[in-house]
Amino acid sequence: MLFLWLYMFYSCAGSCAGLTTRGSPAPPRAAPPLSPLLPAEPGEESSLEEQRAAPDAGSPISSFFNGSGTKRLPQAIIIGVKKGGTRALLEFLRVHPDVRAVGAEPHFFDRNYERGLAWYRDLMPRTLEGQITMEKTPSYFVTKEAPARISSMSKGTKLIVVVRDPVTRAISDYTQTLSKKPDIPTFESLTFKNRTTGLIDTSWSAIQIGIYAKHLENWLLYFPIGQILFVSGERLISDPAGELGRVQDFLGLKRIITDKHFYFNKTKGFPCLKKAEGSSKPHCLGKTKGRTHPDIDQEVVQRLRDFYRPFNMKFYQMTGQDFGWD
């Protein structure tokens, strides 16, 4: 029946187009673009300009199968943290048929807030009834204004934070910067205000981001703890299906993403998808993921562990979860 309908639709497309008011030619119409919006290359961000310029639907046939849907403000946001595993989580979640997410990081609540909610909504993918609209911008977690702004949009927004051992996270953060700026100072020199006294430089963002308890206090002024899900970056690697099960429960989704969706890539040291969203091929995160970390002085690593320990203990108490970083 479906194929009969499609046959009739396309058979009529040419001839029926002229069935307008007698004697009045049909107004010319621009041909719709044939290429649908492709997701950003894993590990990289597509520009917001590219997202906005791309069509929500391509040809009539793609419109039929994808559904037109409605652009909605996100009901759930991955708010952090940088180098915690947010890209992996989003890529895994996009396998779920009831999750629709923006490929690029909108940075609305930290960099583009003055553009307004209409601008933000226009970035969102179209969704059907029952689907969840999502986005991820890891810098939200450490942005002082973000909690109040998101609460102002919707107090019911569900928030997801992917956290990772703050020492490992800081080294990963430094490694990413080093790949772009090879002439930056050493990790050891940036860690301390004064290495002789051992005073940690908390103004360095790589260190500051990992003080999770401090940032969480700001979010709890606007959202109850039960409205925030904390995902372990380590368990996202060792047991992706288990962590995705928790996320699907939190979002009120049926547990569709399971062990059968993953395989472990020994070369990259990360789990990969057997089939990515909209593809029948295996899919791993891009080459920017899984960089080899530089060798760091173990004395510096230990001093950082000592520095973070009390903050970690407080974070465990606040979240009711022991992440096992000590």
Quick: pLDDT tens for 44-80: 344 444 344 333 333 333 334 445 899 999 999 999 9
Is 83 one of the annotated binding-site residues?
Answer: yes
pTM of the model: 0.77
Q: Is 269 annotated as a binding residue?
A: no
> What is the per-residue pLDDT across 177-206, written as a single tens digit (0 to 9) for each?
999 999 999 999 999 998 888 899 999 999
Mean pLDDT to the nearest integer, 21-27: 40
What is d(CA 243, CA 261) in angstroms, rounded to the nearest whole number? 13
Whole-angstrom CA distances from 49 to 74, 105, 137, 284 are: 19, 12, 17, 26
Q: What is the pLDDT of residue 294?
A: 87
Class of domain 70-167+205-292: alpha beta
Residue-wise pLDDT for 266-286, tens only, equals: 766 678 888 665 555 666 765
User: Which residues have a Cβ under 8 Å from the Cβ of 292 and sit 6 or more positions away?
Assistant: 175
Options 82, 83, 136, 158, the catalytic residue: 83
Q: Is 291 annotated as a binding residue?
A: yes
The number of beta carbons lying within 10 Å of the beta carbon of residue 124 is 21
Q: Are 83 and 178 in contact (CB under 8 A)?
A: no
- Strand bridging mode 228-232 / 158-163: parallel
> 192-194 and 199-200 as β-strands: parallel, antiparallel, unpaired?
antiparallel
Of the candidates 256, 247, 243, which has an alpha carbon nearest to the alpha carbon of residue 228?
247
Q: Is 126 helix (H, G, I), strand (E, B) or coil?
A: strand
Q: How does pLDDT run across 164-176, given as a tens digit for each residue? A: 999 999 999 999 9
Task: For residue 83, indicate whether it is catalytic.
Answer: yes
Q: Is 290 annotated as a binding residue?
A: yes
Two tokens, residue 131: 């689907």
Q: Where are the domains of the chain?
A: 70-167+205-292
Q: Is 158 annotated as a binding residue?
A: no
